[in-house]
């Protein structure tokens, strides 16, 4: 009886265990069902919205890198980049493309608002995006490298020259142009193949500088969506599939929360000073400030302003494709114009300085480093050359003359003055200078009414000598 009772108790315990296990299993079934499609639906999280406006440079690269890092750190589901650019630096464009391709979350590039464009480098960024979209009234294309155009008025060789002896091709400018063109085409074609977008038009955008409106780009398969605003964009791309690291994801953006990405002050500062004209002005202000501080030490204001502007200008140069030989010409031109002020002659140094300054300024930035025209504006160059010449010839020249002029006030103005002996005894006496009576000493005796010249002052006593 006791064994039977124990068997019944064990059966009851097992039955209770089964019941509790069934309850727990039924409790976790909904969570298990939700977790299966979580990779595809991804309803949680938020979308981070960043903006790139203007030329593509180091600042734009920092915006994308920081936005991707913030999206990863705060578990954002998507990164949306609003794009409006005429193009920019080739190195910066490649860095941005690498950031997008390596992003662990989908990156949506949206060319907006109306009137914006994704020209040149912008075309590459749109092609690199997991989802590409444009607003009505925008355009895309014209991705031909700017250096392939050459200088206006110069002939462009189209075929490589051949050596008559060994019949081998001799590299010419056209060869280098074709290499750059083919490299650019290959990069955009590879992005088109990766994102399953129009490969043929990608080549036309580079080779023929082709452009498309938003509606035409959608028809040609260059972009995925045309949307009036971000709300419509998020609605239209909801449910679209993208592939990240060989894993397919289904985008879920309907009613998703949005957070605007704000770049830090360093990125904003880089965006301002990396403009070629701003960098050029900062360099000139820095050089002028240091020159004035060296000429009139102790003022501090000119020196501090000059040092800060010069460092900012040099920082800007590190973000731009600089021709250092041209930068040397600019420095040489300023030095020659200043030398003309110190050693005036027939103006040869000044004229040579102006010429060197203008030539160096025109060729200061290397066009091969960008896909847009990146240079200092000609009116700014001419105005800076005229200002520098005027400062050197008039301001510094006047300062040199003033420094060489004898002192007119204070103790120093007495040196060189002529006086008349009033009374004298031994080696000292009194003299009249500028209508005033002064005690005087000398190395020899004088007689009243003798003319003497002041050679030194010691307190209230003048040291004099024969005139």
Rounded to two decimals, the pTM is 0.69
So what's the pLDDT on residue 177? 75
- Rounded to a whole number, what is the distance in angstroms from the first to the last CA of the chain? 149
So what's the pLDDT on residue 2? 42
Q: Quickly list DSSP for 118-183.
A: EETHHHHHHHHSSEEEE-TT-EEE----GGGG-STTS----S-EE-TTT-PEEP-HHHHHHHHHHH
pLDDT of 226 above 70: yes
- Tell me the CB-side half-sphere exposure of residue 208, using CA atoms within 13 A: 8
Pairing of strands 211-213, 139-141: antiparallel
Nearest to 64 by CA among 116, 113, 117, 103: 103
User: What average pLDDT does the chain have?
Assistant: 80
Q: Which tens digits make up the pLDDT trace of 89-135?
A: 888 999 999 999 999 999 999 999 999 999 999 999 999 999 999 99
Highest mean pLDDT among 88-102, 140-154, 313-327, 339-353: 88-102
Angle at 430 between CA 425 and CA 433, to 5 degrees: 150
CB 438 within 8 A of CB 463: no
Exposed / middle / buried, residue 96 (Cβ in 10 Å: 0-12, 13-18, 19+): buried
Q: Which CATH class is domain 38-266?
A: alpha beta
Tokens of 302: 């000119």
The answer to whether residue 120 is catalytic is yes
**CB-based contacts of 337, cutoff 8 Å, min separation 6:** 349, 350, 353, 354, 357, 388, 389, 392, 393
| Residue bearing the bigger pLDDT, 389 or 36 | 389
CB 249 within 8 A of CB 45: no
Residue 248 bridge partners (DSSP)? 243
Pairing of strands 131-134, 107-111: parallel
Which of 161, 179, 219, 401 is the catalytic position? 161
Nearest to 370 by CA among 448, 289, 275, 300: 275
**CB-based contacts of 32, cutoff 8 Å, min separation 6:** none
So what's the pLDDT on residue 198? 95
pLDDT of 270 above 80: yes
- What's the CA gap between 316 and 259, in Å, rounded? 30
If you ran DSSP here, which 8-state letter would residue 341 be given? H
Please compute the mean of the pLDDT values over residues 175-180 and round it to a whole number: 76
The answer to whether residue 165 is catalytic is no
Please compute the mean of the pLDDT values over residues 12-34 and round it to a whole number: 44
Highest mean pLDDT among 5-14, 223-232, 351-360, 418-427: 223-232
Cis omega before residue 256 (within 30°)?
no
Which of 103, 120, 375, 417 is the catalytic position? 120
Please compute the mean of the pLDDT values over residues 76-83 and round it to a whole number: 96
So what's the pLDDT on residue 14? 47
So what's the pLDDT on residue 77? 94
- What's the CA gap between 179 and 147, in Å, rounded? 12
- What's the CA gap between 302 and 290, in Å, rounded? 7
Q: Which tens digits make up the pLDDT trace of 127-177?
A: 999 999 999 999 999 888 765 433 333 334 444 444 444 444 444 456 767
So what's the pLDDT on residue 392? 67
So what's the pLDDT on residue 66? 95
Min mean pLDDT across 111-125, 153-167, 293-307, 330-344 is at 153-167
So what's the pLDDT on residue 291? 78
Please compute the mean of the pLDDT values over residues 358-383 and round it to a whole number: 82
Exposed / middle / buried, residue 58 (Cβ in 10 Å: 0-12, 13-18, 19+): buried
pLDDT of 258 above 90: yes
Residue 84 bridge partners (DSSP)? 53
So what's the pLDDT on residue 240? 93
- What's the CA gap between 463 and 454, in Å, rounded? 6
Please compute the mean of the pLDDT values over residues 399-420 and round it to a whole number: 64
- What's the CA gap between 363 and 356, in Å, rounded? 11
So what's the pLDDT on residue 62? 94
Min mean pLDDT across 1-5, 97-101, 331-335 is at 1-5
- What's the CA gap between 256 and 75, in Å, rounded? 13
Phi-psi region of 435 (alpha: psi -120 to 50; beta: other; left: phi over 0): left
Domain boundaries defined on the chain: 38-266, 275-404, 411-466
Q: Which tens digits make up the pLDDT trace of 279-291?
A: 999 998 988 888 7
Q: Under CATH, which architecture does the 411-466 domain have?
A: Beta Barrel (2.40)
User: 245 falls in which pLDDT band (50, 70, 90)?
Assistant: confident
Going from the C-alpha of 361 to that of each of 200, 225, 276, 331, the distances in angstroms are 40, 44, 10, 10
The three-class DSSP label of residue 332 is: helix
Nearest to 362 by CA among 351, 384, 385, 378: 378
CB 414 within 8 A of CB 445: no
Token pair 């189209």 is found at: 158
What is the length of the chain? 467
**CB-based contacts of 434, cutoff 8 Å, min separation 6:** 417
């Amino acid at each position: 009886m006791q064994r039977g009772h124990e068997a019944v108790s064990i059966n009851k315990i097992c039955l209770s265990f089964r019941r509790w296990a069934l309850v727990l299993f039924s409790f976790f079934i909904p969570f298990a069902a939700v977790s299966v499609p979580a990779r595809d639906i991804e309803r949680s999280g938020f979308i981070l919205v960043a903006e790139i406006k203007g030329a593509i440079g180091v600042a734009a690269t920092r915006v994308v890198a920081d936005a991707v890092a913030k999206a990863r750190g705060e578990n954002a589901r998507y990164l949306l980049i609003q794009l409006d650019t005429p193009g920019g630096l080739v190195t910066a464009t490649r860095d941005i493309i690498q950031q997008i391709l390596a992003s662990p979350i989908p990156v949506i590039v949206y060319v907006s608002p109306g009137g914006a464009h994704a020209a040149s480098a912008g075309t590459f960024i749109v092609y690199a995006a997991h989802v590409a979209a444009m607003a009505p009234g925008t355009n895309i294309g014209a991705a031909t490298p700017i250096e392939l155009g050459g200088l206006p008025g110069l002939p462009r060789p189209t075929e490589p020259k051949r050596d008559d002896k060994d019949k081998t091709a001799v590299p010419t400018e056209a060869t280098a142009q074709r290499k750059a063109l083919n490299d650019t085409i290959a990069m955009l074609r590879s992005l088109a193949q990766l994102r399953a977008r129009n490969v043929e038009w990608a080549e036309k955008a580079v080779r023929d500088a082709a452009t498309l409106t938003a509606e035409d780009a959608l028809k040609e398969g260059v972009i995925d969506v045309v949307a009036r605003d971000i709300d419509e964009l998020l609605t239209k791309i909801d449910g679209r599939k993208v592939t990240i690291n060989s894993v397919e994801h289904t985008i879920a953006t309907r009613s998703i929360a949005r957070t605007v990405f704000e770049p830090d002050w360093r990125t904003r500062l880089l965006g301002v000073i990396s403009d070629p004209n701003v960098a050029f002005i900062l360099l000139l202000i820095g050089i002028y400030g240091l020159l004035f501080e060296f000429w009139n030490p102790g003022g501090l204001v000119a020196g501090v302003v000059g040092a800060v502007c010069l460092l900012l200008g040099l920082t800007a140069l590190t973000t731009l494709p600089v021709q250092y030989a041209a930068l040397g010409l600019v420095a040489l031109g300023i030095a020659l114009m200043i030398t003309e002020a110190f050693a005036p002659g027939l103006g040869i140094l000044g004229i040579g300085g102006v010429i060197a300054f203008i030539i160096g300024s025109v060729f200061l930035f290397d066009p091969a480093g960008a896909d847009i025209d990146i240079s200092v504006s000609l009116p700014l160059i001419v105005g800076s050359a005229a200002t520098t010449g005027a400062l050197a010839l008039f301001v510094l020249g006047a300062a040199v003359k003033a420094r060489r002029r004898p002192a007119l006030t204070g103790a120093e103005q007495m040196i060189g003055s002529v006086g008349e002996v009033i009374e004298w005894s031994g080696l000292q006496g009194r003299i009249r200078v500028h209508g005033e009576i002064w005690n005087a000493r000398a190395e020899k005796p004088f007689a009243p009414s003798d003319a003497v010249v002041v050679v030194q002052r010691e307190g209230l006593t003048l040291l004099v000598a024969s005139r």
